[in-house]
Amino acid sequence: MNNHSSERLYLYPLWIRIWHMINAVLCLILIITGLSIQFSNPSVVVKFKTAISVHNIAGVLLAINYIAFFIGNLFTTNGHHYIMPVRGFFKRLIIQIRYYTIGIFKKENPPFPITPDQKFNPLQQFTYVATMYLLVPLIVLSGFGLLYPEMTLKSLLGASGLELTDFLHVTVGFFITLFMCIHIYFCTIGKTPASNFKSMINGFHESH
């Protein structure tokens, strides 16, 4: 018997839902304006100057929102979900990947059922930790480097410091965009395609 059937677990506290909503909206704005700046031409959807102003403001707001996430995870139990045990890490990751590629189609039960102590499966945990503690800090720091070029290194190993910062910013932006697309797709794999999205509004996760 599946003792998780139709169980409702309160996994997403209000502060994380508010942080996440602001973060998602800002990321969408940053991606649209970022692409408009990168591929600027007179007929783009968002005008170059407008795109830059909106991108700068959204970037600063994202940085402030990130600080809220960082402090929230430091001082509340939500932070526990971001501590990745190193032992057996790859083994757990492979079991989860096998489930997503084979097991799920055979209607097997998830290998890491969601509990209040373990709300992320190993793949989710890895991607959330990498995104929130590596990619987002890198994009925020490189963004500030571009906003205040006088603070950026003049040159590094003979290459222009500003160009390197720009390259880092655009590359990390690409990976965050990729994360977001895959993230939204995986969020549809819930009890119903919409249930994980509802969880991020009411805080309750619905198990299979």
Q: Does 56 bind ligand HEM (CB under 6 A)?
A: no
The answer to whether residues 51 and 57 touch, using CB atoms and an 8 Å cutoff, is no
Residues linked to residue 155 through DSSP beta bridges, in sequence order: 160
Q: Does 64 bind ligand HEM (CB under 6 A)?
A: no
Binding mask 171-190 for ligand HEM (x = CB under 6 A): -----x---x--xx--x---
Query: Which residue type does 205 have?
Result: H
Q: What is the DSSP string of 42-109?
A: TTSSS-HHHHHHHHHHHHHHHHHHHHHHHHHHHHSGGGGGG----TTHHHHHHHHHHHHHTGGGGTPP
Choice from 4, 7, 20, 84 touching ligand HEM (CB under 6 A): 20
| Segment 133 to 152, residues that bind ligand HEM, using CB under 6 A | 136
Q: Does 4 bind ligand HEM (CB under 6 A)?
A: no
Question: Shortest distance, CB of residue 28 to ligand HEM, whole angstroms?
Answer: 6
Give dist(CA 48, CA 33) in Å, integer.
9
Can you read off the two tokens belonging to residue 175? 């990976």
Distances (CA, A) of 34 to 11, 53, 139: 33, 11, 12
Q: Does 96 bind ligand HEM (CB under 6 A)?
A: no
| Segment 70 to 89, residues that bind ligand HEM, using CB under 6 A | 78, 81
Q: Does 12 bind ligand HEM (CB under 6 A)?
A: yes
Terminal CA-to-CA distance of the chain, rounded, Å? 12
Of 34-42, 45-53, 126-134, 146-154, the segment contacting ligand HEM by CB under 6 A is 126-134
Q: Does 24 bind ligand HEM (CB under 6 A)?
A: yes
Q: Which residues bind ligand HEM (CB under 6 A)?
A: 12, 16, 20, 23-24, 27, 78, 81, 124, 128, 131-132, 136, 176, 180, 183-184, 187, 196-197, 199-200
